[in-house]
Amino acid sequence: MRPDTVFIGSEIYRTSRYGRRHPLAIPRVSTVMDLCRALGWLDDSSYLESPLATVDELARFHDRDYIAAVMAAERTQKATPELIAKHNIGKLENPVYGEIFRRPATAVGASLLAADLVAGDRVRRVHTPAGGTHHGRPDRASGFCYFNDPVLAILRLQDRGVGRIAYVDVDAHHCDGVEDATHADPTVLTLSTHEHGRWPHRLDTPHRQTATVGNYPLPRGAGDSAFRHVLEHGLLPRVVAFKPDVVIMQCGADALADDPLSRLALSNRAIWRAVRAIDRIAPRLIVLGGGGYNPWSVARCWTGIWGALAGFARPSRLPGGAERILRDLTWHRQAGRNPPDHWFTTLADTPGEGRVPDAVLALTTPTVEV
């Protein structure tokens, strides 16, 4: 285990759910913690329990009346008309649920701690899989995200004197909340791969392409070869040229082929390759989670990320304890009724190689406005 590499988790994710029918009705972070421990990859020397972000910390990006409204929603468990209209909370997408304040505030606490750690001398890499809520807005929830931990981590790094920050987001959805917050800052590079046309739904506002913003929308069905092309010809050269002091990577697992909410077809090997490649060029690295709505594919992907960051060799077949954790998961969707065996017995997916579509080849010579 690398001594300069830290995992931040929390027990809050073991029981907290957004509601029975919500895509986040599944366990994610707690399964990753259990799997990593079952593999012997996580012990007390590398694990930190996430602190809860304070109101003042959240207010570095979020409006105080919004923070107060989320706290009130946790107390009352009621969706008032004002909460729905003003803050986009209380309907199907962003429901009122038991830990509506504490859960996202814990994810923010972890990302702030990650920023503090990599701004210091001892820690080079942090994995906080609860982070990555990239749609959150200053005054409202969006796309299952109540607070925006990536933006708050970027601001914390800047408050700690870090000069240049690259943010690389490989979630299936566009990182609209982060891009809108950072695009005018010349010291922050924001890069995103995502499924074309999936998010945001306002197609009249195309994603920016500037000297510090790069968007790589992937066509439906894009797999490992397409993603690798964008990684090697888009993401990596731009990060290297930017010379960041810290890289934050958002690794939503919803671009994987087994995810129910997108139409991309990556294998988890493609994500791991990207994490390893970014790790080689980043002086300091924070890896966040993000989307991911199939409990098996999320757990296997993010566990493999921790293994790659901490320097462990991946077993081709999982040991019995790890396999039992995966076999004990349940999922109310159709695909959960008869899961394929490799969701229980391996971490790595079958590679999703194929031809690189012309639309993807065209992405790596973007028009750059300056």
Applying CB under 5 A, the residues found at the interface with Zn ion are 171-173, 252, 254, 291
Closest distance of CB 270 from Zn ion, Å: 16
Residue partners of 287: CB distance under 8 A and separation at least 6: 125, 126, 127, 128, 248, 249, 251, 275, 305, 309
If the CB atoms of residues 165 and 175 are measured against Zn ion, the closer one turns out to be 175
Residue partners of 335: CB distance under 8 A and separation at least 6: 258, 260, 294
If the CB atoms of residues 199 and 343 are measured against Zn ion, the closer one turns out to be 199
If the CB atoms of residues 13 and 344 are measured against Zn ion, the closer one turns out to be 13
Which residues of the chain form beta strands (DSSP E)? 5-9, 47-49, 125-128, 165-169, 188-195, 213-218, 246-250, 285-288
Whether 66 and 87 have beta carbons less than 8 Å apart is answered as yes
Give the closest residue to 172 by CA, choosing from 297, 259, 270.
259
If the CB atoms of residues 197 and 321 are measured against Zn ion, the closer one turns out to be 197
Closest distance of CB 293 from Zn ion, Å: 8
If the CB atoms of residues 101 and 144 are measured against Zn ion, the closer one turns out to be 144
Closest distance of CB 172 from Zn ion, Å: 5
Closest distance of CB 341 from Zn ion, Å: 27
Give the closest residue to 128 by CA, choosing from 39, 55, 50, 41.
50
The tally of CA atoms less than 13 A away on the side-chain side of residue 169 is 30
Closest distance of CB 25 from Zn ion, Å: 16
**What residue type is assigned to position 359 of the chain?**
A
Residue partners of 278: CB distance under 8 A and separation at least 6: 168, 235, 236, 239, 247, 249, 285
Closest distance of CB 193 from Zn ion, Å: 11
If the CB atoms of residues 173 and 228 are measured against Zn ion, the closer one turns out to be 173
The alpha carbons of the chain give a radius of gyration, in whole angstroms, of: 19
- Nearest residue to Zn ion, scored by beta-carbon proximity: 291
If the CB atoms of residues 153 and 175 are measured against Zn ion, the closer one turns out to be 175
Closest distance of CB 153 from Zn ion, Å: 18
Whether 313 and 209 have beta carbons less than 8 Å apart is answered as no
